[in-house]
Amino acid sequence: MTERLDMLGIGKSFFATRALDDVNFSCTAGEVHALVGLNGAGKSTLMKILGGVYQRDEGEIRINNTPVEIAAPADAGRHGIAMIHQELSLIGELTVAGNIFLGKEIRHKGTPFMNKAEMARQVRAQLDRFGLALDPHRPVRELNSGEKQIVEIIRALMSDAWLIVMDEPTSALSEEDKEMLFDFIRRMKAEGIAIIYISHHMPEIFGIAEDVTVMRDGVIVLSERIAETSEDHVIKSMTGAELDQFVKPHKQITGKVVLSVDGLSSPGNYDGVTLGVHEGEIVVLTGLRGCGAPELAKAIFGLDAGYGGEVRYLDKTLKPGRGPAVAVREGMGLVTENRDKNGILPPLSVRDNIALPFLEKTLKGGLIDGARVDSIVAKAIRDTSTKTSSPDQEIRFLSGGNKQKICFSRWLDEDLKLLILLEPTRGIDVHAKADIYRIIEDLAGRGVGILILSYEIDEVLMLGDRVLTMYQGATIHEYAYPHFDKDRMLADMAGAGHTT
């Protein structure tokens, strides 16, 4: 029997946000159904409802025309639906087979001892079935992201999944691993597996999918057979025709060049990138996750030694991998995307977190000038409208938006010449977003050159004086305000016109 899933009239609200409204979505065994849409369109919410992570408010889920209840992830599993998450849930210390059989180990008859040979044999048989050359005995920590993804999928298939949901599976994969994954997907199709594939890469979608559904603001705006649509059509329906509300004040960029990057290349990351940032200018790099922009930004800051090409900053050529200390001394700042990991020191106070980069400057004859620190901290909190009960509050108790403001406040110092921002508003609420946009515009107004990496098209359009689109490590086009073309930018980012 051909398996079939239908999600009918699905509705879901989060307080005032209508995340899904009357959504109809179907897929069939042996086919790949691509699900696309800009950030916030509702893709993950729809899939979480299918996976039993969220409960729908309205609608019905049917498998082979029979209504089913999916109240918890275990229910999804029982119905043969598996989610492959971006944050993979494997245990590095266990082998491939150990992970696949985790919780349902095969034991030697009548003993508590695991039958490792039998488990490996069964895994081997599955890997062979899909033409995958992976050793069941290898510890998972030795595998790359592509191989780990394959282990997750095999684990799902061995628990009798017939429907696999993949959320942007290629975002962290090398070219070679992508090929391996696509081969695997083609073989799964041939074996009658259904796949829901969330991605923005047009070449991938048009290379492996049979159907494509586009969501926008919680509704389905396009659902078609791949053979009957075009990349252009898909991209246009992602953005819609409505004009953008925001009008950015026009600035004349007349200052001198702060940063110029010439032919920067790092194999597998970015390739032949040339760009410049002027005083007071906001340059935005954008693309899909995996486009190489964060690696590029970190190399400019001095965190990567292995690149070719040249980085010139304030008329000096910078040495690759010179480290952050040098950058900071020279007035170059970086706010990372991974704030909890390397942006803040969670157990320290707000005050200590702000003062950190200034310690050298606030030393007076080897002693810390406490009064100077206090005034810097007070000013930083005020300038960024950070909400904290006191400077002595431990930073880990602040909201994401306020933590981000603290990461910024360190750089409001008068010596700053260039600030590099990676995903400056990732995971923070609208109010904090507005504050952060204001801080960025203020800094630019003061003459600081700003280089931003953002994956959110609306933010890109709102902040950029110049925008560079990237795809697979290369810059595709440069756009100067006000000549922004949202559809064309999205097409660049999605690799429209490329072939896999």
Note whether 37 binds ligand ADP by CB under 6 A. yes
Strands 316-317 and 308-313: antiparallel
Residue 212: CB minimum distance to ligand ADP, A: 15
Q: How far is the CB of 242 from ligand ADP (least distance, A)?
A: 17
Pairing status of strand 58-63 against strand 66-68 = antiparallel
C-alpha separations of 119 from 103, 137, 153, 358 in Å: 12, 10, 16, 56
Instruction: Choose the stretch contacting ligand ADP; rule: CB under 6 A; options: 24-32, 33-41, 113-121, 240-248.
Output: 33-41
Residue 14 as a binder of ligand ADP (CB under 6 A): the answer is yes
| Single residue of 32, 33, 45, 408 touching ligand ADP by CB under 6 A | 45
Angle, CA 424 vertex, CA 468 and CA 286 arms, to 5°: 20
By CB under 6 A, name the one of 23, 29, 32, 42 that touches ligand ADP: 42
CA–CA separation, 102 vs 87, rounded Å?
A: 18
Q: Residue 13 Cβ, how far from ligand ADP at the closest point, in Å? A: 9
CA distance 140 to 91: 7
* Pick 174 or 399: Cβ nearer ligand ADP: 399
> Minimum CB separation from ligand ADP for residue 55, in Å?
12
Report the residue from 40, 73, 276, 320 that binds ligand ADP according to the rule CB under 6 A: 40
* Contact call for residue 41 and ligand ADP (CB under 6 A): yes
> Residue 237 or 409: which CB sits closer to ligand ADP?
237
Give me the least distance between CB of 219 and ligand ADP, in Å please.
Answer: 11
- Interface with Mg ion includes 199 (CB under 5 A)? no
Which is closer to Mg ion, CB of 165 or CB of 297? 165
Rg (CA), the chain: 25
Selection from Mg ion, ligand ADP, none that 17 binds (CB < 5 to 8 A by kind) is: ligand ADP
Report the residue from 19, 29, 35, 44 that binds Mg ion according to the rule CB under 5 A. Answer: 44
- Residue 333 contacts ligand ADP per CB under 6 A: no
| CB 37 to Mg ion: min, Å | 9
Q: Which amino acid is at 308?
A: G
For the record, the structure tokens of 140 come out as 């998972």
Q: Is residue 19 close enough to count as binding ligand ADP by CB under 6 A?
A: yes
Q: Are 481 and 465 in contact (CB under 8 A)?
A: yes
Measured from the CB atom, the residue of 23 and 140 that comes closer to ligand ADP is 23
Binding site for ligand ADP (CB under 6 A): 14, 17, 19, 37, 39-45
Binding site for Mg ion (CB under 5 A): 44
